[in-house]
Structure 1
Amino acid sequence: MENHIYRDVLNLDDFNLQELDFSSTNYISYKENGIQFKNQDFSNTTLRIDKNFIDECKEEIRQRRFLTGVDFIIDIEFKNCHFSNIIIKEEIINANLLFDYDEQNTNQEIEKFILFGCTLNGKFYINKQYSGNNKTLTIKSLKIENTVFKSNFKLHKTVLKEFNIEDTDFEKHADFFKSIFHQGTLKKDDIEKINDNDIGFKAINFKGLALFGDTEFHKKLIFKYVTFESFSHFRKAKLFKGLDLDYSNIQNEMNFFDVTELDNSEAKNNTSQETFRIIKHNFTKIGNTIEANKYHALELKKRRNQLKILSADFFNYLVFFFHWISSNHSQYWVLPVLWILAIGYLTYLSLDSFVCARYGCSNNLIDMFKYISIINYDDCIKKNPIIFILNKVLLGYFYYQFIVSIRKDTRK
C-alpha cells in the first residue's frame, strides 16, 4: 500500500511518509458507500489526498462490504480529526470529501490547506454547520488555485487567518456561511487601489449559487474577473474595509440586504462608485427602495469626490456640491428645512437693509416667516426684483429637496 501522509507541503519529493493503518477499528468505520476517519491524529504531518488514496479507500470498502466494485463517488469523512497540513495537488478526486467537527475538545485548527490543479468531482465540505454542529474551525492558510469543484462546496464557520483563491470554477453551489476572512495575499497596487493583504477572488466562475451569508471580511474584498452566473447573496455580511465589484460579470441578482460596515468611513473610501451603483441596481431590481436610496447616495458621494472644482468639471461639481449641502443627496429632510428657514431670514435681512427704509416696509423679525413661502408676493419683496427672484428660486429648489427627501423611502 502506497503512503499518503507527508511532512513537507511545498516539495513533494522530500516528503517524509507515514502510512495509514486501515486495520484499526478504533478510528475507522465503513459504510456501503464510504469510509470515516474519526478522532485521528494527523498532527505534525501533511495529509496528501490523491487518486491512490481514494483507490485504497475504495478497496477497503470492497473488502469490508464484500462488494465486487465501487464505481460510484464514495464518501470520505474526517470527523473530529487533528491536522497540521492538508494538500490536494494536481489530481482528479472522485470522492465526497467531508471535514466535520462536533466535539468541544477537538483541536480545531489547521496550519495549511492547499488545493492546486485539482478537479473534485464530489462534494467538498469543511465544517458543515448542520446536524448539530456549531463549532468553529481555524485555518491559518487556505490556498485554492487552478481548481474545479464539480459539486457543492461548503466552507462554514471557519476563521481564515490567510486566504487566497484564483483560477477556480465552482460548477454548483459555493457556500461560505459564517466564515471570517482576516486577510488575503494581495500586494499593494496604487493604480488598482489595492492595499497589502486585501482579500482577492481572482478569475473565479460561480456557476451555481454564491453564498456569503453572515461572513466577515476584515480586509477589502475584491472580486476581479469573477463571473456570477446564478443568484448570489451577502446577507448580513460585514465588510469592514470595503468592496470592489468593478471587474465582475454579474448575470443574475445579488442580495446585499443587511450588509453592515460598508458605510463606515474607511469602507466608503475603499469602495468604488461602480460598486455602489451595482449594489443600488440590485436593490432596485428586487424592489428594496430604502436600501437602493442609501447606496444611491453613496454612489453620488463617490462621484462628487471625483470631481474637481478647478477643472472642466466645474459646473458638474457645483451641481453635486449643492445637492450634497442641501440634503446630503436626498438623505436628510432636516437639511432643506433648515435652508428654507435660512432663506426666509436672509430675505428679511436683505429687505430690512435695502428696501424697508426706502419704502416704509415692516422690519419686524416675525416677517421672516412670510419669506419662507413661495406664494408670498407682498409689495415689499416685489419692489426689489433681485431679492424676489433669488428668494423664489432658492425656495423652490429647497422645497423640492424636502419633498424628495421625505419620499425617498416611501415611494413605490
Structure 2
Amino acid sequence: MSKICIHDDCTLIAKYNNKCSLHCNKGDYSTDRMSEKLSDFYEDLKRYILNEAFGESEVPAQGSVEALKYKIIHLKDIQFPDRDPRDAFDYFELFKMVKGLHFDNSTISFDSLNLPDIQLFFQDCIFKNTWYIYPFSIIEDISYQTLFQNCTFQREVTSSLMEDSRSTLQLENHIFNDCTFNKHLSLFRGTYKKSIFNNTDKYIQKISELKIENCEFEEGLSLNKSEVDTLIIQNMLFEGKVDIKECVIRYALISNVNFKSLFDAYKTKFNQFEIKQSIFDDFSGFEKCEFGCSTNISLKKIGFEYVTFLNFTNFRKAKFHNGLDFENTNLKESPNFLNAEINYKNTNRETFRILKHSFDKIGNQIEANKYFALEMKKYKEELKAKKGLSAEKAVLWLNESISNFGSSIFTPLFLMVMTSVIYYFSILGYENNYLYKIYEPLNEYIISITNFFNTFAKGIPPYGRFLKEGMEFVTLIYHILFLTFTWHFLVAVKRCTKR
C-alpha cells in the first residue's frame, strides 16, 4: 500500500522520505532529473493545480482546461526545483495555463519568472538562487500591490537587464514589501513607476549592497529604516520624492543623479559618504544626519563634489565626524547648518567661509562669528605653511592668542586684569627702588637705558603728558597693551550680543 505524504493535508503519494515530489527537499538539477523527481514534480503539480482550481470532485476531463485561464492558483508550502525549459516536463508550461499564481511559504530554486501575462504574488517565500526581475503583473486583490511580501533572498537579486544592455525594463508596481536580502540587490536600465520598496512603517530592512544605475524612478524611492552595507546610486533620475530616513549605511556613493523632487535623509548615519556631480532641484534635508565615524576620524572627509542645490538645504544638527568639504558645491540658497558639529581638522577654509556667509545672510551673527573664527584659524595655518615672517602672520597670531578672533571674552578680560596687576607692582617697585637694589653696580647702566626709553616715550603725542614721570616707557607699553586687550574684549562682547 502506497504511503501518503506526511505534509499537512496533502493526499499525494510519498515517494521521497515520506513526502511527495512537491514537498520533499530538492537538490541540484542533475540529481533531481536522474532520480525522476522532476518528472514526478510535473505530474504532481499538475494534479495540485487542477485540484486547487476545480476541487477533487470537479476535475474536468482531459483537454478541458480552458477554464484554468480564469483561475488564480494558491501554491502553498511547495519546494520548487531548478528547471530547464528544454525538458518535456518543464512545469512552467503549467504556469502558462492559469490566470495567476500565488506563491505562499514556498522554497524556490528557479532563477526567474518571465510571464508578464500571468498575475503573480510571492508571500513568505525563500529564494535559494540568484533571482532576475522581469516585467510582471500583480494579482489584483493584493492589498499592498507588491510582488514580493516577507520574502527572503539568499543570493543576489538583479534586474533582468544587465548594466550594458540597450533595452529598458518597465515596471508598474512596487516590488518588495518587508523582504530580507542576504546578498546584493542590483537594478540596471529600468523605468520604475513606483518605489521598489513598499515596507511597513516599523520594519527594519537589511541589505548587503543596493546598487541602482541608469534608472528612472517616477514615483521616487523609499528606503526608510534600512541597514545597508553599501549603497551605490549612479546615472539616475528621480522624478518623485526620495526618502532615506533613519537608515544606517556604511558606505554611500551618489554620482550623476538628478533629484527632481524632495530628498530627505533625516537622522541617517553614513559611515562613509560620497556625492558628486548631482543636482537637487527641490528641498534637500540632512537634518540630524551623522557623517563619518566618531571612533575613527582618520576616514575620508565628507565631500559634496560639484553638487548643485537649487533650493533650500537643511543640515541642522548634522554631525560631520570626519570633516566637511563644501568648496566645490553650488548653492542657490543659503544652507542651514544651525547646531551642526563639524570636525575642524579635516575641513578646509572655504567650507568655513561658506558656512559663515550662510549665517550672515540670514542675520545669525552669533553662528557667523563662530565660523569666522574657524575660517581665520584655517587661514593662519595656510600662512604658516609659507616660509618667512610677515605682518599678516603676526596679526593673525595676535588675534588668535588674545581673543580667538573675537570669539572669546574671558581671555582678553584676563589679560586686562593681569596687565593692570603687573603695572601696579611695577609702580611699587619703582617707588621703592627695588630694581636698583638688586645689583647696585648695574644702576648706572639701568639709569641710562631707562632715561633713553623714557625720553622716547615722552616724544609720542598725545601720550607724553599723561605718562607717569620716571616710568614713561613702561606706562606707554601698559597703555598700548591695555587698550589692545580692551578692544578685543569689546569686539568679543559685541559679536556675542549683536542683533
TM-score bracket, shorter-length normalisation: 0.7 to 0.9
Could you say if the C-alpha distance between residues 393 and 281 of structure 1 is closer, same or farther in structure 2, counting changes exceeding 3 Å? same
Q: SS at 2:327's partner residue?
A: strand
Name the CA distance, whole Å, in 2 between partners of 1:379 and 1:181: 63
Give the one of 316, 323, 332 matched to 1:242: 323
Q: SS at 2:329's partner residue?
A: strand
Name the CA distance, whole Å, in 2 between partners of 1:112 and 1:346: 67
Could you say if the C-alpha distance between residues 144 and 313 of structure 1 is closer, same or farther in structure 2, counting changes exceeding 3 Å? farther
Structure number with bigger Rg: 2
Name the CA distance, whole Å, in 2 between partners of 1:288 and 1:103: 38
Partner of 1:395 in structure 2? Answer: 482
Q: Give the C-alpha shift of residue 204 in structure 1.
A: 1.2
Give the one of 48, 64, 67 matched to 2:158: 48
Partner of 2:277 in structure 1? Answer: 203
Question: 2:177 aligned with 1:79, yes or no?
Answer: yes
Name the CA distance, whole Å, in 2 between partners of 1:18 and 1:382: 101
Could you say if the C-alpha distance between residues 229 and 31 of structure 1 is closer, same or farther in structure 2, counting changes exceeding 3 Å? farther
Name the CA distance, whole Å, in 2 between partners of 1:93 and 1:202: 23
Q: SS at 2:498's partner residue?
A: coil
Q: Give the C-alpha shift of residue 42 in structure 1.
A: 3.9
Give the one of 229, 251, 262 matched to 1:162: 251
Q: How does 1:224-235 map to 2 (within 5 A)?
A: 224-235=305-316
Name the CA distance, whole Å, in 2 between partners of 1:324 and 1:156: 40
Name the CA distance, whole Å, in 2 between partners of 1:157 and 1:30: 32
Q: Give the C-alpha shift of residue 156 in structure 1.
A: 1.4
Could you say if the C-alpha distance between residues 234 and 29 of structure 1 is closer, same or farther in structure 2, counting changes exceeding 3 Å? farther
Q: SS at 2:412's partner residue?
A: helix
Q: How does 1:349-368 map to 2 (within 5 A)?
A: 349-353=425-429, 357=433
Name the CA distance, whole Å, in 1 between partners of 2:431 and 2:463: 16
Partner of 2:54 in structure 1? Answer: none
Q: How does 1:285-304 map to 2 (within 5 A)?
A: 285-304=361-380
Q: Which runs of 5+ in 1 are unaligned?
A: 1-15, 58-73, 128-135, 184-198, 359-374
Which region of structure 1 is more displaced relative to structure 2, 300-309 or 139-148? 300-309
Q: Give the C-alpha shift of residue 18 in structure 1.
A: 2.7
The answer to whether the 8 A contact 1:147-1:168 is kept is yes
Name the CA distance, whole Å, in 2 between partners of 1:342 and 1:124: 62
Name the CA distance, whole Å, in 1 between partners of 2:198 and 2:155: 17
One-letter amino acid of the counterpart of residue 118, structure 1: C
One-letter amino acid of the counterpart of residue 311, structure 2: S
Deviation track 1:103-144 (CA, whole Å, cap 9, x = no partner) reads 56x6x31111111122222221112xxxxxxxx321111111
Q: Give the C-alpha shift of residue 378 in structure 1.
A: 9.2
Question: 2:209 aligned with 1:112, yes or no?
Answer: yes
Partner of 1:18 in structure 2? Answer: 112
Q: Which runs of 5+ in 2 are unaligned?
A: 1-109, 125-137, 162-166, 293-298, 435-461
Deviation track 1:125-175 (CA, whole Å, cap 9, x = no partner) reads 112xxxxxxxx3211111111112122211111111221121111122211
Q: Give the C-alpha shift of residue 19 in structure 1.
A: 2.5
Partner of 2:12 in structure 1? Answer: none
The answer to whether the 8 A contact 1:80-1:103 is kept is no
Partner of 1:384 in structure 2? Answer: 471
Task: Tell me the TM-score normalized by structure 2.
Answer: 0.61
Q: SS at 1:292's partner residue?
A: helix
Q: SS at 1:115's partner residue?
A: strand
Could you say if the C-alpha distance between residues 209 and 142 of structure 1 is closer, same or farther in structure 2, counting changes exceeding 3 Å? same
Question: 2:396 aligned with 1:320, yes or no?
Answer: yes
Name the CA distance, whole Å, in 2 between partners of 1:103 and 1:395: 63
Name the CA distance, whole Å, in 1 between partners of 2:402 and 2:140: 70
Could you say if the C-alpha distance between residues 324 and 24 of structure 1 is closer, same or farther in structure 2, counting changes exceeding 3 Å? closer
Q: Give the C-alpha shift of residue 279 in structure 1.
A: 0.8
Partner of 1:11 in structure 2? Answer: none
Give the one of 70, 78, 93 matched to 2:192: 93
Q: Give the C-alpha shift of residue 276 in structure 1.
A: 0.8
Name the CA distance, whole Å, in 1 between partners of 2:190 and 2:319: 35
Does 1 or 2 have the higher relative contact order (CA < 8 Å, sep 6+)? 1
The answer to whether the 8 A contact 1:209-1:230 is kept is yes
Percent of aligned positions that are identical:
24
Deviation track 1:243-262 (CA, whole Å, cap 9, x = no partner) reads 000111111120011212x1
Task: Tell me the TM-score normalized by structure 1.
Answer: 0.72
